[in-house]
Amino acid sequence: MAGLLIKNALIVPMDDCSRAEDWFKGDVAIEGSLIKEVGESLQEKYPSFTVLNGQDSLVMPGFINCHTHAAMTMLRGYADDLPLMTWLEEMIWPREAHLDREDIYWGTQLAILEMIKSGTTTFADMYFYMDETAQAVLESGIRASLSRGMVGSGATAELALEESVEFIQTWQGQGEGRITCMFGPHAPYTCPPAYLERVMALADDWGVGIHIHLAETVDEVAKITKQEGLRPVELMDSIGLFQGRHVLAAHCVHLSEKEIEILAKNKVGIAHNPESNMKLASGIAPISQLLEKGAFVGLGTDGAASNNNLDMLEEMRTCALLHKVAAMDPTVLPAKQVLRMATKGGAKVLGLEHVGSLAVGEKADLLIFDLKKPHLTPLYNPLANLVYAAQSSDLKTVIIDGKIVMQERQVLTMDEERILFEAEKRGQDLIHKK
């Protein structure tokens, strides 16, 4: 089987193996969808492999965006600087009601194009018309964990259960395993406990995880505590949500000490979305406390309507800076820890094995950055340069599942011109619909 060989690069493996250094000079050999070997002078060993020159380049695992709503790119910049409920009820929800299947398809194409161009190789998505999202994932070559968003009360609650099952039946494992599925009950305040119990039973039947928004705002905590007599994470624990299954919980901003313990003890995957939490003024999640307790924490951008981009380099930098100033302690969340959250840590949050690091047998999802840039010079600590100085335009090449999907900033699997045209046209139509 033909392979790829990245030669003479600066390698940042983000693996957990015995190697003492966080970076070293060497080669990466890729065969099929997997990393075959990471080491030195590999060309003699793999003479038939196509060589990519890694001189003046940095190679690292692709970023994992642990929480987004991809097609919300269609609402980027439509409503900003508003209180959360005004933003949702008066601006976002009325427009979302007009989104049709084709809008979702093109909005997701736009999101994937942006993600690949800024180094995301895997994303976790929750939205509606997810067949169109999955189709865009399939065609683009990216990896994704997809959930059909479910609201557990009102006319569509039953339909959401049926369609989620159909979605999982159709898409789980598609794209040579690049697509995985979860159930996506929206949040404790939109899905009552009895409904969540039905979702849990179905998730167990189908052997998939659950993706949910949890403890995002002060209002949510107040509402759930008043209704149920327990805080949101306590309530989820009391119905057994975290027992014996994989759960991806987005946000986890407002947590008591006890709730931090619950999330850490049960290895719940936490998607931290610092920019969205800042922009909507939701609050600051207790990330260093969660990490100290051994919780699984990854990074996400959330949808483009509350961020307003899907750039994981920017999200890493924001994450590190936010927690330093919040704690008034510059030693909090050092670059390596944040980089880990954006790579292998994110894979754990999504429950994906063999993704997120450059090690033998891992999926070949990797990025090649151009180091010959003013803002990346001099290069003392590549991890610090990645988190604090790098820009997505420094990224040259993206490989996902062993295939080159972006080369010299051209996404080979997507029609960039058509995507920008469709998204602009459909966006303009969408915001003028009565």
Q: At what angle do helices 130-140 and 157-171 cross, to 10 degrees?
A: 20
Backbone angles phi, psi at 416, to 5 degrees: -60, -45
Residues 6+ apart with CB under 8 A from 187: 212, 213, 214, 216, 220
DSSP string, 296-317: EEEE----GGGTS---HHHHHH
Residues in the chain: 434
* Residue 368: closest CA among 2, 3, 5: 5
Q: Give the shortest CB-123-to-Zn ion separation in angstroms.
A: 12
CB nearer to Zn ion: give 68 or 397: 68
Pairing of strands 24-31, 34-39: antiparallel
Element of type H or E holding 126 = strand 120-127
CB nearer to Zn ion: give 57 or 276: 276
CB nearer to Zn ion: give 186 or 324: 186
CB nearer to Zn ion: give 59 or 72: 72
At CA 229, angle to CA 224 and CA 234, rounded to 5? 75
Q: Give the shortest CB-108-to-Zn ion separation in angstroms.
A: 15
Q: Give the shortest CB-282-to-Zn ion separation in angstroms.
A: 11
Using CA atoms, how far apart are residues 186 and 149, in angstroms rounded to an integer? Answer: 6
Q: Give the shortest CB-342-to-Zn ion separation in angstroms.
A: 18
CB nearer to Zn ion: give 27 or 302: 302
Q: Give the shortest CB-68-to-Zn ion separation in angstroms.
A: 7
Q: At what angle do helices 193-206 and 157-171 cross, to 10 degrees?
A: 20
CB nearer to Zn ion: give 30 or 310: 310
The neighbouring-strand residues paired with 147 are 126, 182
The neighbouring-strand residues paired with 30 are 4, 35
Q: Give the shortest CB-302-to-Zn ion separation in angstroms.
A: 5
Q: Give the shortest CB-65-to-Zn ion separation in angstroms.
A: 12
How many other CB atoms are found less than 10 A from the CB of residue 425?
11
**Closest-CB residue for Zn ion?**
302
Q: Give the shortest CB-223-to-Zn ion separation in angstroms.
A: 17
Which pair of structure tokens corresponds to residue 173? Answer: 């494992």
Three-class SS state of 286: coil
CB nearer to Zn ion: give 252 or 359: 252
- Give residues in contact with Zn ion (CB under 5 A): 302
CB nearer to Zn ion: give 92 or 390: 92
* Residue 390: closest CA among 118, 90, 3: 118
